[in-house]
């Protein structure tokens, strides 16, 4: 949303609204990443029937899956930041 799309607000209110929208979009992206992580790791690691506890192998797989997901996400963010700095 651009500031020109909200002409009835003063400049300070437009900036505040844009900041709020950016924060909400960032939250939505984070929630989408968590959802993707949950689906990926669950589908990869949970092979048995659902019970009150994960098996040892499922728990280890989930831990490794989350670690790799976070590692790859951090790597991507660093690469994007590096590319931004080169511009």
Q: Given CA atoms 65, 60, 31, 78 in this order, what sign does their dihedral have? A: negative
Please report whether residue 79 resides in a domain.
Answer: yes
Token pair listed for 3: 């500031």
Please report whether residue 6 resides in a domain.
Answer: no
Please report whether residue 5 resides in a domain.
Answer: no
Cα separation, 61 vs 59, whole angstroms: 5
Please report whether residue 48 resides in a domain.
Answer: yes
pLDDT of residue 73: 86
Cβ-proximal residues to 86 (8 Å cutoff; 6+ apart), any chain: none
Please report whether residue 2 resides in a domain.
Answer: no
Please report whether residue 73 resides in a domain.
Answer: yes
Please report whether residue 4 resides in a domain.
Answer: no
| 40 burial level (CB within 10 Å; 0-12, 13-18, 19+) | middle
Token pair listed for 59: 């728990």
Please tell me whether the overall predicted TM-score, pTM, comes out greater than 0.85 for this model. Answer: no
pLDDT of residue 61: 95
pLDDT of residue 48: 79
Task: Print pLDDT tens along the chain (87 aa).
Answer: 555 555 687 888 888 988 899 889 988 988 998 898 899 999 999 987 878 889 999 999 999 999 998 898 889 888 888 887 887
What residues make up the domain containing 61? 11-86
Please report whether residue 27 resides in a domain.
Answer: yes
pLDDT of residue 59: 94
């Amino acid at each position: 949303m651009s500031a020109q799309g909200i002409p009835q607000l003063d400049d300070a209110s437009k900036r505040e609204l844009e900041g709020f929208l950016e924060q909400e979009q960032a939250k939505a992206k984070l929630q989408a990443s968590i959802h993707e992580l949950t689906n990926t790791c669950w589908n990869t690691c949970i092979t048995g029937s659902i019970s009150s506890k994960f098996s040892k192998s499922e728990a280890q797989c989930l831990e490794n899956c989350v670690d790799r997901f976070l590692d790859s996400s951090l790597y991507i963010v660093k690469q994007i930041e590096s590319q931004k700095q080169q511009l």
